[in-house]
């Protein structure tokens, strides 16, 4: 049994205004509001599991989530991160297949579930949503392909620098100017596609080189230009 609490309303949801659902009609927002089902998830909980069939999409109201695939030896490869405003599970729902990844909570989250029927109804009647979904998928695809090429061609050090810049971009900074997320070294390793020990060593190198500062799980980027250079984003 999921805990009961005050459900956020789609109408006032700041997340919704920034995502693919921003152009729903008032009637659709109301329908979504009555059909949706919101839950609170604690750190470590699974939202959906690789291999299961999707029954709808998830809309993140709050929290931090990782979507990963589990390889041979149980090692995770993180495919995507999600935060407030992000929608999850559309890829599998649209292609009518089982989830190809698992969504797990990294930081306590409030997530709303929108049933398949409702989502597809919107998709068929709102061509603007269709367009936005296509753009979202195109964006994801571009991202995935860029990472693919990087993984095949760039050394770990460069990918690590890229990952830090991505994390900064994605989460922003807190009052101290650190990346606004507490991510384990293991998770960073699973984003970059390397071993945890290697991640620890390279972060330590970056610290020595005054590119970043480390305070526990908090990472502060102190030389942005230097990291960009390290990432070889310009050659």
Cβ distance 150 to 194 under 8 Å?
no
- Give the one residue of 25, 37, 127, 184 binding its own copies; rule: CB under 8 A: 127
101 binds its own copies, rule: CB under 8 A: yes
Q: Which residues are 115's β-sheet partners?
A: 56
Residue from 28, 39, 190, 194 binding DNA (CB under 7 A): 194
Q: Is 53 in the site for its own copies (CB under 8 A)?
A: no
Contact 152, 77 (CB under 8 A): no
Rule CB under 7 A: choose which of 110, 157, 161, 162 binds DNA: 157
DSSP letter string, 192-233: HTS-HHHHHHHHHHHHHTTSEEEETTEEEES-HHHHHHHTTS
Stretch of residues binding its own copies (CB under 8 A), selected from 135-143, 170-178, 205-213, 217-225: 135-143
Residue 196 is a binding residue for DNA (CB under 7 A): yes
Picked from its own copies, DNA, none, the partner binding residue 74 (CB below 5 to 8 A depending on kind) is none
CA-based radius of gyration for the chain:
19
Taking CB within 5 to 8 Å according to partner kind, which of DNA, its own copies, none is near residue 71? its own copies
Of 60, 87, 103, 203, the one binding DNA (CB under 7 A) is 203
């Amino acid at each position: 049994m999921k805990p009961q609490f005050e459900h956020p309303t789609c109408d006032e949801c700041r997340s919704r205004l920034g995502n693919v659902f921003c152009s729903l009609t008032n009637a659709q927002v109301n329908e979504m509001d009555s059909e949706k089902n919101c839950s609170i998830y604690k750190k470590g909980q699974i939202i959906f599991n690789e291999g299961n069939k999707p029954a709808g999409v998830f809309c993140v109201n709050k929290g931090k989530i990782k979507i990963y695939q589990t390889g041979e030896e149980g090692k995770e490869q993180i495919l995507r991160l999600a935060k407030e405003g992000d929608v999850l599970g559309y890829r599998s729902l649209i292609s009518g297949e089982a989830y190809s990844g698992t969504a797990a909570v990294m930081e306590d989250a409030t997530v709303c579930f929108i049933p398949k029927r409702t989502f597809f109804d919107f998709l068929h009647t709102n061509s603007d949503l269709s367009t936005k979904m296509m753009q979202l998928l195109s964006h994801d695809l571009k991202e995935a392909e860029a990472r693919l090429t990087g993984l095949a061609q760039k050394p770990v050090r460069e990918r690590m620098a890229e990952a830090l810049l991505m994390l900064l971009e994605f989460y922003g900074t807190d009052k101290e100017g650190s990346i606004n997320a507490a991510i384990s070294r293991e998770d960073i390793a699973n984003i970059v596609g390397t071993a945890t020990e290697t991640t620890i060593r390279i972060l330590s190198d970056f610290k020595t080189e005054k590119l970043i500062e480390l305070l526990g799980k908090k990472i502060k980027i102190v030389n942005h230009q230097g990291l960009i250079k390290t990432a070889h984003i310009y050659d």
